[in-house]
Structure 1
Amino acid sequence: MRGLGAALLMLLPALVFAQDAPPPPNKGDVSWLMTSTVLVILMTIPGLALFYGGMVRSKNVLSLLMQVMIVFCVGVLMFAIYGYSLAFTESNAFFGGFSKMFLKGMTGDSVTATFSKATNIPELGFFCFQATFAAITPGLIVGAFAERVKFGAILLFVIIWLTFAYYPLAHMVWFWSGPDAFTTAEAGAAANVNAGFLFNKGALDFAGGTVVHINAGIAGLVGCI
């Protein structure tokens, strides 16, 4: 009996750990996430590039196609280096930290929360999905600069704008601890002390209306003026 009791005590930490482990991602959720990621890429390359290319004079078509494509690539690269970390790690209510620069600590087993309880998705898949939004948003602004600004100036603007406009706003609207933290009202409030500023004010942006469209629209308007 003593041996049986000792064995049960040894198994207890493993049982507790198994209970605390996050549920595995649903294959259907992952498939739809990656499908949506591909659709956003196609919306930019070639979609947005061809759309803007058809709105300028023929001599500037190739230039504008190149601008949209390179801006998209720069946006993805920046998001992988430090953008994801600034947008989706804990620091304060306005911007994240640098704990996940270069995707540090992200593995194939890493998961992140969704808006549904007990539902997780792979963090690498979430990164790919969010990277496409971070890359298409400055691409939207390129149309406002068409035939007005040199390409080097556009690249400099994109780097500065993503760093000081897109990533902080993405953090303020989209960063939170996830629905599983809301076991009680008190627990949810404690878990979301460092959630995004606008999220804590009640902002919900499921499709990028604030982070992508309003953000890019204001930048494009300023660029036109």
Structure 2
Amino acid sequence: MTNLFSIFDPSTSLLNMKLNWTSTLIGLMMLPTHFWMMNNRYNTSWNMPLMILSKEFNMLLSKNNKGTTLMMISLFTMIMINNLMGLFPYLFTSTSHLTMTLTLALPLWLTLMLYGWMKNTETMLTHLVPSGTPNILMPFMVCIETISNIIRPGTLAVRLTANMIAGHLILTLLGNTSMSTSTNMLLLLLIIQMMLLMLEMAVAIIQGYVFAVLMTLYTSEVN
């Protein structure tokens, strides 16, 4: 049990070189290239879901903000690829660390807050007091809304990290118990692991989608 969390340890080294974090760059090889003379099936399979996401993000932003939409699609793609790569054996899951998730959430949130308070100060102040709030509760609502706004990057980072760690730990525990089980139980355990692996693949995609959608909603509030 002392080595249970070793799969999430970024300090393990290979040939005295810490190469775990470089596994994040493997996702760049999976991105489609646009240097073909004609469109191919690989680009089409990428463009179809990205176009659907672009339409949805434009609806959430209530404006045709192409720059923000492109940023959120890139964020979703990066998180999804890193989550899925963590399901491969002997690959490091970078999104299971707060170092990675906070690096994604905190700068984006801080940029939105600075832009909102500098450009739309009145709008940001009105968000602190929901409509229909009694005058007595207004000071308390300002404190509650301020705290909920401050903890947003933390909740984004912890949500992604916790979901990645939970699924990987379950798969690791089941894999470790397979060495001491009977043949009949081993078959049942294999079926359970296959079902959990399919669930983890869905979770990897959903968590990237949730992260991007929540950041898009925060952007729409600022605008």
State the TM-score, normalizing by the size of structure 1: 0.30
State the TM-score, normalizing by the size of structure 2: 0.30
Q: In proportion to residue count, which structure has more helix?
A: 2
